[in-house]
Amino acid sequence: MTNLMIRIATLAMCSIALTAAFSLAPVVAAGGGGGGGGGGGGGEAYGPTTYSSPPSPPKAYPRQPGTKATHGVKKTSKQSLFNDPAFSQGYRAAYATIYDRNDYAAAIDQLKALGHDDHPNVANLIGYSYRKLGDYKLSQVWYERALKADPNHVLTWQYYGLWQIEQGNRDQAQYHLSRIAAICGTDCAEYRSLAEALENPPGAALVY
């Protein structure tokens, strides 16, 4: 009987030891490591071309006379608009009208019909279309509207820089180049494109 009691006590002690060991084991957190690739559809052909903000606030671009936008900036999410199938489809159609068919007047109508004139991608393409039509005053209005909506919209800095070159404002175009460098560095496509255009002699025709 004594041996039986000893065995029962031994088993009880082992059980207690095993329970304590399991309770002290480290807990592995689920769902760790989200990975990169955030924000704004930077890798998409039609998505917002916005980079992370630099450590210090960007220098305000000096507004030139007669370029005040006629509408306020809408508080809309750029990313959510591209998640909207109707907006995305309409934007892609306008994009094709510009770059595939070079029908800039039709593209302006398509872009305005989207109802989001102050989205930087939309305003930038409207500005580009007016520039290709030779209406530099309206083009400037839309480029500045795009930058008002998003001061880090690097594609607008590039396109507006080309506008400056065509207007003979090479110093302003150089400023645009410096803004691009501050936003995405000197290796991004927008910087290389504008830098290449600035290397051309004054008066040279641009193909952009």
176 touches 166 (CB < 8 A): no
- Predicted confidence at residue 142, as pLDDT, reads 98
* Encoded amino acid at 106, one letter: A
- How do residues 123-154 score in pLDDT, each as one tens digit? 999 999 999 999 999 999 999 999 999 999 99
Residue among 98, 149, 162 nearest 121 (CA)? 149
**203 pLDDT more than 80:** no
- Predicted confidence at residue 107, as pLDDT, reads 98
- Predicted confidence at residue 42, as pLDDT, reads 34
* Encoded amino acid at 119, one letter: H
Q: In terms of pTM, does the model score above 0.85?
A: no
- How do residues 89-108 score in pLDDT, each as one tens digit? 999 999 999 999 999 999 99
DSSP single-letter state for residue 25: S
**192 pLDDT more than 80:** yes
* Encoded amino acid at 154, one letter: V
**86 pLDDT more than 50:** yes
- How do residues 20-30 score in pLDDT, each as one tens digit? 444 444 333 33
